[in-house]
C-alpha cells in the first residue's frame, strides 16, 4: 500500500483530496490586486480615513443645522399656504398646555391640603402638651412615638464577637501601619 504523499494523496473517499481550493479568478482578479493596492497605497488609505472622519465630525453640526433650516422653511411655507393648519396646531398646543396646567393645579391643591393637615396636627400636639403641662404631667413626653415604653419588651443585644483580624488579612501584604521607606530629599548644596 502506498503512503500518502504529494503525488499520491489518500482522502476519505478513496484517494481523492477533498479540500476546497480558492478559484483562480479570485486570486488573479480580486486578491492580488487588492493586496498590491494596499501595499502601495495603504498609508494613504489610512490617512484618508482619518481625514474623512475628522472632517465629518467638523461638518456634521453645520449639516444638521442646515437640514433643520430647510425643514423649518418647508414647515413655514406649509403654514403660510394653509393658515387653518397653523390655527389647529396652535389650538392643540393651547389645549395641551391647559390640561397640564390643570393637572399641576390639582397637585398643588393636594399638596397644600396635606401641609394644612400637618400644621393642624402640630398645633393640636402643642395644645395637648400645654394642657399636660398645666395638669402637672410634664411639658413634653420623653418617649418618642414608636419606641417601646416597657423595659421588659427590650431584649438585650448579643455582644459582638471580638475579632482580632479582619477577613481580608493577608500576612504577605506587609505591615498595615501605612509607613514605607522613603528616600531622603535630594537637595543641592545648602546656601547660607
182 within some domain? no
Q: What is the pTM of this model?
A: 0.33
- 152-164 CB burial, b ≥16 within 10 A, e <16: eeeeeeeeeeeee
All three cell numbers of 32 = 492580488
pLDDT of residue 154: 62
Classify residue 17: in a domain, yes or no.
Answer: no
Q: What is the pLDDT of residues 13-45, one digit of tens each?
A: 556 778 888 777 777 778 888 888 888 998 999
56 found inside a domain: yes
Q: Is residue 103 part of a domain?
A: yes
User: Residue 94: which domain range?
Assistant: 24-140
Q: What is the pLDDT of residue 63?
A: 95
Determine, yes or no, domain membership for 165: no
Residue 124 in domain: yes
Is 59 inside a domain boundary?
yes
Per-residue pLDDT of the chain (192 residues; tens, 9 = 90+): 455 545 455 555 556 778 888 777 777 778 888 888 888 998 999 999 999 999 999 999 999 999 999 999 988 888 888 888 888 888 999 999 999 999 999 999 999 999 999 999 999 999 998 888 888 887 665 666 666 555 556 666 777 766 666 666 666 766 656 666 677 777 766 655
Give me the number of domains the chain comprises.
1
For cell 400645654, the residue is: 130
What integer pLDDT is reported at residue 1 of this predicted model?
45
Q: Phi first, then psi: what are they for 31, rounded to 5°?
A: -70, -55
C-alpha cell at 17: 483530496
Q: Is 151 helix (H, G, I), strand (E, B) or coil?
A: coil
Radius of gyration of the chain (CA): 43
In a domain, 159, yes or no: no
The pLDDT value recorded for residue 12 is 53
How many residues comprise the chain? 192
Asked if residue 149 lies in contact with residue 143, where contact means CB atoms within 8 angstroms, the answer is yes
Decide: 2 and 8 in contact? Cβ < 8 Å.
Answer: yes
Amino acid at each position: 500500500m502506498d503512503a500518502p504523499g504529494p503525488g499520491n494523496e489518500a482522502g476519505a473517499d478513496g484517494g481523492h483530496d477533498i479540500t476546497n481550493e480558492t478559484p483562480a479568478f479570485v486570486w488573479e482578479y480580486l486578491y492580488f490586486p487588492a493586496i498590491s493596492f494596499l501595499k502601495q497605497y495603504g498609508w494613504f488609505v489610512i490617512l484618508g480615513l482619518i481625514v474623512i472622519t475628522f472632517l465629518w465630525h467638523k461638518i456634521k453640526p453645520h449639516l444638521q443645522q442646515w437640514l433643520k433650516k430647510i425643514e423649518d422653511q418647508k414647515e413655514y411655507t406649509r403654514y403660510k399656504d394653509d393658515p387653518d393648519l397653523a390655527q389647529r396646531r396652535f389650538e392643540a398646543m393651547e389645549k395641551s398646555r391647559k390640561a397640564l396646567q390643570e393637572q399641576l393645579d390639582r397637585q398643588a391643591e393636594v399638596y397644600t391640603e396635606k401641609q394644612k393637615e400637618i400644621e393642624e396636627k402640630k398645633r393640636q400636639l402643642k395644645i395637648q402638651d400645654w394642657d399636660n403641662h398645666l395638669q402637672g404631667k410634664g411639658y413634653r413626653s420623653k418617649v418618642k412615638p414608636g419606641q417601646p415604653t416597657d423595659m421588659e419588651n427590650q431584649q438585650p443585644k448579643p455582644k459582638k464577637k471580638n475579632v482580632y483580624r479582619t477577613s481580608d488579612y493577608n500576612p504577605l501584604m506587609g505591615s498595615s501601619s501605612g509607613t514605607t521607606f522613603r528616600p531622603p530629599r535630594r537637595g543641592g548644596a545648602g546656601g547660607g
